[in-house]
Amino acid sequence: MIDQAQHRTGNAARAETGITTDQHGLSANDNEYETGTALPPAQEGRVPNLGWTLAATSLGLVVVQLDITIVNVALPHIGDQLAAGVGGLQWVVDAYTLAFAAFLLSAGALGDRMGSRGTYNLGILLFGLSSLACGIATNTPLLIAARAVQGIAAAMIMPTSLALIAHVCGDNHKARTRAIGIWSSTGGAAVAAGPVIGGFLIGEFGWRSIFLVNIPLCAIAIWMTWRHVAAAPLHRRGSFDFPGQIVAIVMLTCLTGAVIEAGPRGWWDHWVMGGLVAAALTFAAFITIEAKSRHPMLPLLFFRQPTFSAAVVVGIAANLTFYGLIFVLSLYFQEVRHYSPVETGLAFLPLTAIFIVANIASGWIASHFGFRLPMAGGLVVGAIGFALLCRVDATTPFIYMAPLLALIPAGTGITVPAMTASILASVERNRAGTASAVLNTARQVGGAVGVALFGGLVAAQDIVSGLDDTFLISAVLLLLAAIVAFIWVKKGPGHHQPMVLIEH
């Protein structure tokens, strides 16, 4: 560790001579490092070019987040046309989130080393091409494979978009927190709006349109980024952590596959138990590899910050419960209530509006009161919503469900931007790509497990019983995460001291 005051003083002195340093105190001319554009100076006023940066990165986030939930409304139609059962439909959803989670850490490191803007645009291009492949898939295996490629592309987009925002905001904590609130609100709105947009597209053009709509959005995002977004500096050129990447893929695949198969087979089935044991062993191997790696994809020292660790726990709980809810609710509305795709989309509409308002409010709350209040408080609000929905059955009036469902995006929407901002506040700015990748990896793992777990509950019994179990488990998990946030998250932006990492 380097003394924070000495570090800042040293940087100030070097600034007078035109020399910049990284978090290690090394000169920009050092052989192991190179720079692109200089890091923005600390400031509290207007941030130049922030509007274009937010627009470009938010559009990328929209296509990434939209494809997490938009597919849920299409599941019955995909199942009918491609002859996919519940297990196949779970893989259509989880192939995306699993690949997303597995490659996020490497993508964050790639952005730090090769430049956030170039990596971001490469991810957008790959996302557009894989969306085309999804739209023309003729069978379930091809669709699952294309969804996995989409997930890899999404992994390249997510951390680099956040790193570009962190770069343009510099040390302006209030601007960064508010910008993240807006960025998160677009992503949150896309997650919530996915079923709504999907319902209308499927009703008018068929299920393939939910993937093809991404192509023009990706083209616009590429143009805006190259035209208006400044390149962030390049950082460490160290080798990639290939052993860690391979073990991470095996670990996440074993975990997700075991949880999916637990529904139809049962938890004590030898294949399910074998998958869980393999996931545990590979997780232990992954931690060992990362602890010994010279350039780890997961810097374990990040977790010495209680706020960082709390944000990861909160991210897992938030995504596990929300993505699992969307999956099961989509089946409930269409298979139990016999809603059309459009009616199903409209049923999700309250989630969309509340998400947008809550995300924006979270940025304001966090900038004035710190991170703990919106993180812990939002989780409690979401838990209350889940708990009150535990008695839903096949005939429950939607007018009763709607206000209770609204509590869930209200709580999650308040939690997520504060959680994201707390991650950036707890590490050095030029590690923003890697740090955000760690958080989003945890979130996508949570989402994949949520779909597998709650989908398994539906497959093992019936949709209504599975839905009630989903509500109960979600309420408990969010309350536990709220306790973690309340205990571990101590201070807000402006008070956090970023962790300075020394790698050997």
pLDDT for the residue 383: 95
Q: What is the mean pLDDT of residues 212-233?
A: 84
Domain annotation covers residue 67: yes
Whether residue 340 sits in one domain with residue 302: yes
Tell whether 141 and 225 lie within a shared domain: yes
Maximum CA extent, the chain: 73
Same domain, 226 and 322: yes
* Residue 39 falls inside a structural domain: no
Q: Kindly state whether residues 470 and 323 are assigned to the same domain.
A: yes
Cα–Cα–Cα angle for 129, 133, 135, nearest 5°? 115
Q: How would residue 496 be classed by pLDDT, with cut points 50, 70 and 90?
A: very low
Kindly state whether residue 201 falls inside one of the protein's structural domains: yes
* Alpha-carbon span 372 to 488, nearest angstrom: 9
Q: Give the residue from 296, 312, 327 where a domain finishes.
A: 296
In a domain, 130, yes or no: yes
Examine the domain organization and report whether 340 and 456 are in the same domain: yes
Q: Are residues 436 and 156 in contact, defined by beta-carbon separation less than 8 angstroms?
A: no
In this predicted structure, the answer to whether residue 204 has a pLDDT above a threshold of 80 is yes
Output the pLDDT for position 239: 62
| 259 and 367 share one domain | no
d(CA 124, CA 59): 10
Q: Is residue 268 part of a domain?
A: yes
Residue partners of 111: CB distance under 8 A and separation at least 6 = 119, 120, 156, 159, 160, 163, 433
Last residue of a domain, one of 296, 312, 332: 296
What torsion do the CA atoms of 456, 68, 155, 484 make, to the nearest 10 degrees? -60
Return the DSSP state at 41: P
Query: Do 179 and 272 have their domain in common?
Result: no
Higher pLDDT, 416 or 174: 416
Q: Are residues 307 and 281 in the same domain?
A: no
pLDDT in tens, 259-302: 877 877 788 888 889 999 999 999 999 999 988 887 787 788 88
Question: Within this chain, do residues 252 and 169 fall inside the same structural domain, yes or no?
Answer: no
pLDDT score of 240 more than 80: no
Q: Which domain holds residue 262?
A: 242-296
Q: Which residue has the higher pLDDT, 501 or 252?
A: 252
- Structural domain count of the chain: 2
pLDDT at 232: 63
**Whole-number Å distance between alpha carbons of 371 and 481:** 14
User: Is the separation of the CB atoms in 352 and 186 below 8 Å?
Assistant: no
Q: What is the CATH number of the domain that holds 478?
A: 1.20.1250.20
Going by pLDDT thresholds of 50, 70 and 90, the confidence category of residue 220 is: very high
Please, which residues bridge with residue 499 across strands?
Answer: 427
Q: Do 351 and 261 belong together in one domain?
A: no
Specify if 38 maps to a domain.
Answer: no
Number of Cα atoms under 13 Å in the Cβ half of residue 22: 24
Note if the pTM is more than 0.85. no
Do 248 and 161 share a structural domain? no
Question: How many helical (H) and strand (E) elements, i.e. helices and strands, does the chain have?
Answer: 17, 0
Angstrom distance (rounded) from CA 219 to CA 442: 29
Same domain, residue pair 170 and 259: no
Q: How confident is the model at residue 211 (pLDDT cuts 50, 70, 90)?
A: very high
**What's residue 112's pLDDT?**
67
pLDDT in tens, 460-478: 778 888 888 899 999 999 9
- Decide if 34 is inside a domain: no
Q: Does 327 reside within a domain?
A: yes
| Local structure of 499: helix, strand or coil | strand
